[in-house]
A and B are shown apart, each in its own frame.
Chain A
Amino acid sequence: MSAALKVQVSAARMLTPVVREFTLTACDGALPAFSPGSHVQVHLPLAEGTVRNAYSLTSDPAHTRHYRIAVRLQDASRGGSQYLHRQVQVGDTLRISPPANLFAPHGTARRHILIAAGIGITPFMAYIATMEQQQADFELHYLFRPGLSDAYLDELQQRLGPRLHAYDRRPDLSRILANRPLGSHVYTCGPQPLIEAVEQHADRLGWPRNRLHAEAFKGAQPGQPFDLQLLRSGRTLRVEAEQSLLEALEHAGLQVPNLCRGGVCGQCITRHQGGAIEHRDSFLSPAEQAEFLMPCVSRGSGPCVSLDL
């Protein structure tokens, strides 16, 4: 894995009562270039150990003098977003991982139909900047709670005009998906139920799955604490309720490759060898889950899990 980047918070503002935007500039040297749809992991030094949360870059990929991210305050979170909302000040330094992309636009699409819900608008901010420059054919369907999760709404209304379709309740997805010209691709960023609803409507209309692209914002969720036995090294660790299995491994000094920290990219795949497991990933097949788990999201559901580490 490449080294973390040190950045300074050069600006911060509230976009809505629950969404805070941060502008990040490099502490030394230049920031690496990135493609639309990329995210960074922000390292958050919480009391119980460092947590890494993934956030989409919302800034224009053509300009990397700074990065921007927008963070929604999560009430039920493990404290990462609360730390960013309440502790971090302009002038503070943060450590972030270099950008990685698991949600890139489809290169040969003729029309891009973007569907965002709430904070799911973030990757599309970079999409829109790039697609405007490339004069690509796109439209944005933006679902939000007015005055609460409608980040960037005013700016988008001005920039996009009739290409923006705003909704304060779930729109009729069949209307969005029906009668689309060949060459259309759909991108959904939002909670898992919305993504599944788009898939169901698309299936019914005969859309093949490779015209559908999605990114769920789905970080590690808390659960029951459990013990971890590392069979190769003979160590035993404790995974706390608010901690992911991956974080417990990192806390103990183990390096496990990872990109998404959301059970999607498959990088942190680890073999398990005992103990009941609650699989929460969307990468492994049921057959593979019998042998492997994704420690970024999945957890033990009993007292102890053994790993081939």
Chain B
Amino acid sequence: MPLQSSPVLSYRDDFSFRNSPAAIRRFPFPFIEDSYLYSVNIEPATSRDPGSVYEHAFDIDEHYRSEMAERALILDNDPRRYLVMPHMQAAAWDALQMLMENLAVDYPQWFSLVRDGDRWHWRNHLLRIDQPFIFGDAASLPCAPLEYIGRQVQGDFALLDQRDGDLYMDAGLVTSPADWSLAFDAGMSFKQWHAPVPMAHQMGVFERALKYLLNLQAGQPVRRLNWTLTINPRLDSSPETFHQWGADRGRITAQNVGQQVHLRVELQVMARLPRSNAVMFSIRTYLISLDELVSHPGWGCRLHRVLRDLPDAIADYKGMTRYRQTLVEWLSQFDPLA
């Protein structure tokens, strides 16, 4: 999709972030029926629907410059958002390679990669970056490889080490998490970092998902959608800053629901990194205000039914308890049966 050359929009303070009509049309609305319960909703991440968020492995959209500016602000304020344990160096280079190769092939108008053995030349026209470097030599880049490429690709990245029949979150660059902390979760096994999620454990969801991911093959990535709600288009809804944004949940009224409540959808892609055998877990976040969302036929009605019938434990985990009633009442105007 075309990139706007307009000024960079903000995900904080005045929250100038907006979606264009084109961005609303391609928004990955996650509900395929009128109710929601956890499932291992994983599918092969093959390219489909040209122009959609599913066309390319790593989606670059009209918010690219804004999101990269926001990431830079967060990283500069809080270096804990980036972490690579020593045994994950190879995986970090692996991730850099996968991201650069994909972007250069999928978006040749914006990114290019020229390789001559270990001597690589990366160009990012959107951010005016022109960087020759030696693959594998961190000193030839301005910063460590995962941070370097992560500052140029939308979405968060966690790198998972596979050992002892489990996956360990031993590296990552995470600046737009839905209420989880890389600094705290680093080093945890798959089940340990999912421990706070209610209900799903009893359903065996994580056992099945882990088994599936341990068998992930290079060249055959998979994807799934996850969702939550966020007040204001705030990318950084991390525990680190909860004391700054948590109060927003108490300020929702019938008058500001449509403008302030945002559906937050994560397009998660899991790919085997071929050189290191690590798994790259990329989390690409899309935000849409409810005013924008209900402009799409059918979405307001479906969201009403999903949120109305959501089990309390899940609603609480997703942080909507304080304003759920206001929200559901507002959404009911879009449901002909309500």
Contact = CB atoms under 8 A, between A and B. Distances in A.
Contacts of A267: 215
Interface centre among B88, B170, B277 (most CB of A within 10 A): B277
A262 to B, nearest CB: 15
Given A104-B162, A106-B163, A210-B164, A35 B274 contact: yes
A234 to B, nearest CB: 30
Interface in A1-58: 2, 32-35, 37
B220 interface: yes
A265 B170 CA distance: 25
Interface in A102-137: 104, 106-108, 134
Instruction: Give the one of A2, A107, A108, A210 with max B CB within 10 A.
Output: A107
Contacts of B218: 32-34, 98-100
B270 to A, nearest CB: 16
A100 B90 contact: no
Contacts of B275: 33-35, 61-62
Interface string B297-320: 000000000000000000000000
Interface in A199-239: 210
Contacts of A2: 217, 219-220
Given A104-B162, A106-B163, A108-B87, A32 B274 contact: yes
B228 interface: no
Contacts of B266: none
B219 A107 contact: no
Interface in B260-277: 274-277
B217 A107 contact: no
A93 to B, nearest CB: 21
Given A106-B163, A107-B161, A108-B163, A101 B215 contact: no
B215 A99 contact: no
Nearest to A37: B277
Given A108-B87, A134-B90, A98 B163 contact: no
Contacts of A35: 274-277
A107 B159 CA distance: 13
Contact of A98 (B97, B164, B219, B278): B219
Given A100-B217, A265-B215, A107 B274 contact: no
13 contacts: A2-B217, A32-B219, A33-B97, A33-B218, A33-B274, A34-B275, A101-B277, A104-B162, A107-B88, A107-B163, A134-B90, A210-B164, A267-B215
Q: Which 8 A-B pairs have the closest CB atoms?
A: A33-B274, A35-B277, A104-B277, A107-B87, A107-B161, A210-B164, A33-B275, A106-B163
